[in-house]
Amino acid sequence: MAGEILKATLETLYMVIVSGLLATLFGIPLGVCLYLLSKSVKFRNLYIVLDLIVNVFRSIPFIILVLLLIPVTKNVMGTIIGPNAAIFNLTIAAIPFMGRLSENSFNGIPRGIIDSSDSMGLNRSQLILRVLIPETLPEQIGNVTVLLINLVTYTAIAGAVGAGGLGQLAINYGYYRFQWDVVLYAVIVLVSISQVLQFTGGRLSRFFRR
């Protein structure tokens, strides 16, 4: 079973890293949009619509979202099983989550800093690159850490619908073949991955906070 566990572990890491990277690349800009629109009277209605979409996607349980996305996943990825199909589903689920976390971080910036940037005449791009991102960098690292840990959990759930990884390994051998030692190994590896992510993210966040 060592070879199977190693293969499943690598599949899990692949899904977490790729979907986490994509969710971060799209989620933080989404958070920026939410933050800026929430401060704009002119685009208030657009914010309400975007905020509703984010809330809807965040409210759908991941396993149900996977089922709802089956036709889209089939058209985009050409298959509904395997790690690559799971990455598409994971990314769709994670982008709104990351967007909301980022928006909350931006809302935590002291009002005085925003007022100072306005008085200096910074445009939107300068506000984003010189104020929003730098001021919230430690929090954003923490957000990415939370995101990745959640994705570890999501990959285990996705294993129930043929995504591969440790979740599918635990189901195939533990549930169907009653090899509970394999389930224990899968749990140990999943917990270890989460702990490593938490430790690394915490250290990086504290480093940049200083």
- Please say whether the beta carbons of 169 and 177 come within 8 A: no
Residue ranges of the chain with pLDDT lower than 70?
none
Our CA dihedral for 86, 54, 103, 193, rounded to 10 degrees, sits at -20
How distant is the alpha carbon of residue 143 from its chain centre? 9
Q: What pLDDT does 9 receive?
A: 93
Residues 6+ away with beta carbon under 8 Å from 132: 32, 35, 106, 109
For residue 64 the two structure tokens come to: 């149900």
Residue with structure tokens 């509703």? 52
Q: What is the CATH number of domain 2-208?
A: 1.10.3720.10
Amino acid present at 205: S
Q: Report the number of secondary-structure helices (H) and strands (E) in the chain.
A: 11, 0
Q: What pLDDT does 1 receive?
A: 72
Q: What pLDDT does 89 receive?
A: 94
Q: What pLDDT does 175 receive?
A: 77
Half-sphere exposure of 125 (CA within 13 A, CB side): 0
Q: What pLDDT does 22 receive?
A: 97
